[in-house]
Amino acid sequence: MPVARPETSDSRIIAHVDMDCFYVQVEQRKQPHLRGQPTAVVQYNSWKGGGLIAVGYEARKDGVKRSMRGDEAKKVCPKIQLVQVPVARGKADLTIYRNAGSEVVSILARKGRCERASIDEVYLDLTDAAETMLKETPLENLENIDEEVLKSHVLGLSLNENDEKEIVREWLTRRDADHRDKLLACGAIIVAQLRMQVLRETEFTCSAGIAHNKMLAKLASGMNKPAQQTIVTSASVKGLLEPLPIKKMKQLGGKLGSSLQTDLGVNTVGDLLQFSEEKLQDIYGSNTGTWLWNIARGISGDEVEGRLLPKSHGSGKTFPGVQALKSLAAVEKWLKELCEELSERLQIDLETNKRVAHTLTLHANAYKSTDTDSHKKFPSKSCPLRYGAGKILEDSVNLFQAGLREFLGSYMSPVGGGWGITGLSVTASKIVAIPSGTSSITKYFHGQDRFHTSSEPSDEKFAPKDDNLSPSRTESHSASHLTECDGERTPMTHDTFTFDQHETACKDEATESCLTSQHHEPQPRVPNTNDGKRTYEQKRKATKEKGTSSILRFFQTNSCSSSSQETKCLSTGAQEALGMESEILTESQNKVRTNSWRYNVDEIDQSVVEELPPELQEELRTWLRPQKQAKPSTVKRGSSIAHYFSPNKNEHTNLKKS
């Protein structure tokens, strides 16, 4: 899995930003009375109190650990607040966390190439920003270094904890520092600003690592949590890695790491140094071998991908033990729930990001009661994805049946029982951007209503619109509209967020307070929500904070802000969005929706396509990808494009509206 990538004496400035116990923070923002209390997020609390999926720092202090059940957590920490993950369609629904993650990404993406690594982690390539800063403002001249920057942990810098900030200040402004260290210092300043900006606009704290590559940045972001940042200087790398247990390295937490320990006696990253690249390659293959050899030396050439949006969407659920699904009807029932969720998310992605998914995959876990071993795995199956919950369901059911037949073999009857499904998921992948507003197709369709063969009033469906989303708090609160910058989108829309704006390192106190006051009403209640964090802080003997804008100070003065920004209104006109089926919209999608243009793939039928000028047909094909038919056996449909475009008749599934 790990793949080797060479590296050229790396002077990039890479940051890894990691949200602190993210789901807990999301819930605490939603319910501010939870702030400062030991809190954990659980899902499905009926069985042993539910499984913990996030634990706040106050609760961690009491010994609560992820992967306890709710009951155990209560035992260890009786006053713990257990918040349930929202449930929709009978399953956990992570939408609010995804959207919260998008809020964060939209802020972090302002300063450089940004890669959404997971729902709560982001990589940033700040090389350009750091170089620019260094050119324009020599560090030695920096007067007001922000408090938050001074709280950085600089690996290898000092052993005691006295005068930490002055030591950091000296390091940051050292005249004789080498160029790479100066760039790191600039990176740290930028990251501190970004983290404060995230806090101001989202109320979320995060931790960060700043280093010369992704691996080291990731390592560092976890070293001082919560709400702190850690800098990895080149000089510190050897000392950092040498004693580091191998399992701490990303990718080595599983079987590969175990193999290194048991097969090679490698317990720390330093132990790896004894092995030649060839030796490692012999054992683990050339890619993994080289990768191991490199990471032992702190080398990792992985680039930060400019990707703000997920590459796939999935919806799944497990049915452990007695809950296992034992009939096709039960499977269909749950597939319907899963497909409806997936479809809704695809709609939103289409409308807010103008992307379409091309592949539908069904995964299942199953057992056969008739055999103890020979656990054949239930095979995944995929097919071209057609939009609309009903069609996704139809295809999913077919994929499932194909998988089931294969799973059972020809001996067992699919209806006879003797099998159980313990997990089901549907995933949409191969998501590509469709030509945006300026594209010829859009223009062509716009005002060409003779092409609208369906009876639906389709006029507005093809009205492209520039979305002028401002990055303001309330806007960004509403979910995942992010402008991708990796060029996958054909003509790139002009940036939604302004880049940079000569915002030099330390000077904008004014901007800050301005932002703060503008986005936050004076907070009622809960004077000091962050006792836990402060304790943490006290531990490191923080000297007084005279600084003006540190994150710590935010807590002291701003405690918590209302979650009043929940949007409530839902434009019903939005319902016909992609035309095909009515789907419920969550509040968060509502806003962007009014700004989005609509595209009803299924209203374009074959004859329409054939009428298009050849070059447009070609263009269409590039994103509507000819499909071989979705159907495993039984049903066979017409030619791919025709099928893809054909108006859908069997769309009777009524989606429930709640």
Partner DNA sequence: ACGGGTGCCACG
Partner DNA sequence: TCGTGGCAC
Q: Does 70 bind DNA (CB under 7 A)?
A: no
Closest CA to 521 of 559, 490, 493: 559
- Cα separation, 230 vs 209, in Å, equals 5
Q: Does 102 bind DNA (CB under 7 A)?
A: no
Residue 128 CB, shortest distance to DNA, in Å, is 22
**Secondary structure (DSSP) of 456-507:** S--GGGG----------HHHHHS-------SS-SSSPPPPSS----S--TT-
Q: Does 255 bind DNA (CB under 7 A)?
A: yes
Residue tagged active-site, from 27, 58, 115, 121: 121
Q: Does 253 bind DNA (CB under 7 A)?
A: yes
Contact positions with DNA (CB under 7 A) in 259-298: 285, 287-288
Per-position x/- string for 40-69, each x denoting binding to DNA as judged by CB under 7 A, each - no binding? ---xx--xx--xxx------------xx--
- Cα separation, 406 vs 647, in Å, equals 31
Q: Specify whether the CB–CB gap between 224 and 231 falls below 8 A.
A: no
Per-residue CA distances from 474 to 149, 202, 270, 291, 594 (Å): 28, 10, 48, 43, 15
Residue selected from 361, 398, 516, 648 as contacting DNA according to rule CB under 7 A: 361
Specify the residue, 234 or 365, whose C-beta has the smaller distance to DNA. 365
Contact positions with DNA (CB under 7 A) in 120-139: 120-121
Q: Would you call 360 exposed, middle or buried from its count of C-beta atoms within 10 A (0-12, 13-18, 19+)? A: buried
Give the range of 186-194, 360-368, 458-466, 577-585 binding DNA by CB under 7 A: 360-368
Neighbours of 316 (CB within 10 A): 19
Q: In what order do the strands lie in the sheet with 51-55?
A: 51-55, 39-43, 81-84
Specify the residue, 121 or 181, whose C-beta has the smaller distance to DNA. 121
Residue selected from 84, 382, 504, 653 as contacting DNA according to rule CB under 7 A: 382
Per-residue CA distances from 615 to 438, 462, 508, 555 (Å): 16, 19, 51, 58
Q: Does 252 bind DNA (CB under 7 A)?
A: yes
Eight-state DSSP code of residue 69: B
| SS3 at position 81 | strand
Specify the residue, 283 or 506, whose C-beta has the smaller distance to DNA. 283
Residue 484 CB, shortest distance to DNA, in Å, is 12
Using CA atoms of 444, 448, 451, 454 in order, give the dihedral in degrees to the nearest 10: 120
Joined together, the tokens standing for residue 405 give 């037949």
Residue selected from 381, 477, 593, 598 as contacting DNA according to rule CB under 7 A: 381
Give the range of 29-37, 422-430, 457-465, 501-509 binding DNA by CB under 7 A: 422-430
Per-position x/- string for 299-338, each x denoting binding to DNA as judged by CB under 7 A, each - no binding? ------x----xxxxxxxxx-xx-x---------------
Specify the residue, 336 or 473, whose C-beta has the smaller distance to DNA. 336
**Amino acid identity of 12?**
R
Question: Any catalytic annotation for residue 512?
Answer: no
Q: What are the catalytic residues? A: 121
Which residues are near DNA by CB under 7 A? 1-3, 43-44, 47-48, 51-53, 66-67, 91-94, 98, 118-121, 249-257, 285, 287-288, 305, 310-318, 320-321, 323, 341, 359, 361, 365, 367, 375, 377, 379-382, 422-423, 425, 427, 429
